[in-house]
Amino acid sequence: MSTSLPKLIALVGPTASGKTDLALQLAKKYNGYVISADSRQIYRQMNIGTGKPALGAVEMVCDQPSYDINGIRHFMFDMVSPDQTYTVAEYKDAVYRLISDMRREYPDNIPFLVGGTGLYVSAVIENWEIPKVAPTGLREDLEKRTLDDLVQELQNRAPDVAKRIDIKNKRRVVRALEVVLEGKSFDQARGPRMFDILLLGLDVPREELYTRIDARVDAMMAAGLLDEVKSLAAKYDWDVPAMSGIGYRQFRPVLEGKMDLAEAVEKLKQDTRHYAKKQLTWWRKREGMKCIKNTGDSEDFIEKFLQK
């Protein structure tokens, strides 16, 4: 039985699992376009440390910047500057507008939502109803406190929440603690179903994934990651949202003369492996996810999905 809901294919998995390359192959085969679901790749000027693909020519498509990568349109890159915030609510709204406009202008194109940021993907596919809340005095007070102090309070008040977020990212800790202290549920309410969804999860053996992560960090260093961090640190304060992310915060002690570069690189590998572990935990809990190991697996699921 066919459904009247627009189809959406979500491809998820931990960092360095191969989502970008696989999405490109699938989008080419199934006349698709790619919507990035990466909370770090939304920042301009942050390319190497976020693992952002080389963005091709840009054009405005459906009022949003579209980047050509090997002939496939890619959206939701370079949305804001490193010193700006970009909320999950803003992301979800932008994606919904994009899919709606693309469906009207290019009805035969299939959207592929691709990334490892669980909050972004879940907000879209589960239609989270996220209240638009302006910064409060509570948030301002929290932002003045040290990260260690914030993490300690979050772990005391809501240990389950602390396990689900990157507790080394001050911005995310502040937001989580703000929700907890205001007595709101950290689990978002879901609105009506908006898409017919196929959720594909890349399954990479843990040891292989960790090997890929180490190699990826080495490649980033060879590509000039340290120079990218130096350039950004010269323009922005370390407390701006983007600079607290993995790939950047690890080098602050190096630039301040408090840590050797080799030690910082190893710390980056360790933190990335830890982040990947959190991503794996997040996606294992998703209902209805189809685990795939290769291109063939994904194509089998997609063929059935598009035919129903």
Whether the per-residue pLDDT at 285 is higher than 90: the answer is no
Residue tagged 């940021």 (tokens): 117
Name which of 71-80, 141-150, 258-267 the model is least confident about.
141-150
Q: What is the pLDDT of residue 135?
A: 58
| CATH 3.40.50.300 boundaries in the chain | 7-129+191-307
What is the dihedral sign for C-alpha 231, 235, 236, 242? negative
Per-residue confidence (pLDDT) for residue 72, from 0 to 100: 97
Predicted confidence band of residue 1 (pLDDT cuts 50, 70, 90): very low
Q: How far apart are CA 74 and CA 56, in angstroms?
A: 9
Residue pLDDT, tens place only, 211-260: 999 999 999 999 999 999 999 999 999 988 789 899 999 999 999 999 99
Q: How many other C-beta atoms are found inside a 10 Å radius of the C-beta of residue 156?
A: 9
Residue 185 banded pLDDT, cuts 50, 70, 90: low
- Is the predicted pLDDT of residue 37 greater than 80, yes or no? yes
C-beta atoms surrounding 185 within 10 Å = 8
Residue 188: predicted pLDDT: 62
Strand 58-61 versus strand 110-115 pairing type: unpaired
Which strands make up the sheet holding 72-75, listed edge to edge? Answer: 58-61, 64-69, 72-75, 32-36, 110-115, 7-12, 196-202, 290-292
Mean pLDDT of the 161-190 span: 76
pLDDT of residue 127: 93
User: Hey, what CATH topology would domain 7-129+191-307 get?
Assistant: Rossmann fold (3.40.50)
Predicted confidence at residue 50, as pLDDT, reads 96
Q: What is the pLDDT of residues 99-123, one digit of tens each?
A: 999 999 999 999 999 999 988 999 9
Tokens of 42: 């939304």
Copy the structure tokens of residue 291: 């685990």
Both tokens of 119, joined, read 């909050």
Span 165-184, mean pLDDT? 78
pTM recorded for the entire structure: 0.86
What mean pLDDT is predicted for residues 48-73? 95
Quote the pLDDT of residue 2: 44
Report pLDDT for 280: 86
pLDDT at 164 over 80: no
Burial track 107-146 (b if 16+ CB lie within 10 A, e otherwise): eebbbbbbbbbbbbbbbbbbbbebeeeeeeeebeebeeee
Between 52 and 288, residue with greater pLDDT: 52
pLDDT of residue 282: 81
pLDDT confidence tier of residue 182, bands split at 50, 70 and 90: confident
- Mean pLDDT value across the chain: 90
pLDDT at residue number 184: 66
The burial class, CB within 10 Å (0-12 / 13-18 / 19+), for 6 is middle
- Residue 144: pLDDT band (50, 70, 90) is confident
Given this model, what pLDDT does residue 132 score? 60
Q: Which long-range contacts (CB under 8 A, 24 or more apart) does 205-209 make?
A: 206/280, 209/14, 209/16, 209/17, 209/276
